Amino acid sequence: MKAGERARWSVNVTVHGVGTPPRPVDDDEARVWISVDQLEALLDTAVGREDVVITFDDGNRSDLELGLPRLLDRGLTARFYVCAGLLGEPGRLDEADVRELRDAGMVIGSHGWSHRDWRTLDWGTPEAVDVESELVHAPRRLAEVIGVPVTEVAVPFGSYDRRVLHALHGSFATRVYTSDGGWARHGTWLQPRTSIHADDGPDWPHRVMVERPTLMRRARGRTLGLAKRLRG
């Protein structure tokens, strides 16, 4: 990819858990817990790349114990999207951990209150309790923890529709990250990301973070995103 093209596009990658899960997890969650070697290969590929954005979802304690030191060793920063209602639960970040990430220069964002699929919330009224908890109370709680406004969000499970986006447009969110995959146009409000999985091979960093998606892959990604934005 040429320098001018990279200035217009970025690739957002997502890490969920690193190492061995500290609590029982179902098969779907186990798929996104990666090895330390996988994390290091991802980070090594990101060094010197201003067009790569590294994100961590779910607020697992491995973010701090395994992710942070390896980021700092390479002079990298990342964005950590935390479930405010799960702070302090076994195997997850607590308030002091989140402040430590912030103090190390990392960005803290919201991943909702309790890691729920936002499409399944009670959307009967804008003031519905679940909607308030996930989209309003969660970022406010995180802002109380770190002492600065929380203005970014990562959508749990990458599950959204027009109702979710409408609510986010009217909320705190200055940037919204999804899990749609592919490269993102720099600076846009809705940003697709690509998650790394436990069964991804050693070519994953180069394939996702270096190779430019083909026209077919980009068209497929745009079609998927449009379908999600219109449904609901």
Q: What pLDDT does 225 receive?
A: 61
Integer Cα distance of 134 and 131 in angstroms: 5
Phi then psi dihedrals of residue 83, to 5 deg: -85, 110
User: With 90 as the cut, is the pLDDT of residue 70 above it?
Assistant: yes
Q: Which residues contact 188 (CB under 8 A, 6 or more apart)?
A: none
The rounded distance, in Å, linking the Cα atoms of 71 and 78 is 8
Lowest average pLDDT, out of 45-49, 146-150, 217-221, goes to: 217-221
Q: What percent of the chain has pLDDT over 90?
A: 77
Average pLDDT for 70-86 = 98
Band of pLDDT at residue 7, cut at 50, 70 and 90:
low
Q: For 89-99, write each residue's pLDDT tens digit.
A: 999 999 999 99
Q: What is the chain's alpha carbon radius of gyration, rounded to the nearest angstrom? A: 17
Place of tokens 């994390």: 39
CB count within 10 Å of CB 149 equals 12
Structure confidence at residue 148 as a pLDDT band (50, 70, 90): very high
Specify the amino acid at residue 5: E
Q: Is 80 exceeded by the pLDDT of residue 29?
A: yes
Chain centroid to Cα 217, Å, comes to 21
Distance CA 98, CA 63 (A): 10
Per-residue pLDDT, 1: 45
Q: List, in order of start, the domains of the chain with CATH numbers.
A: 3-230 (3.20.20.370)
Average pLDDT (161-182) is 93
- Reported pTM: 0.90
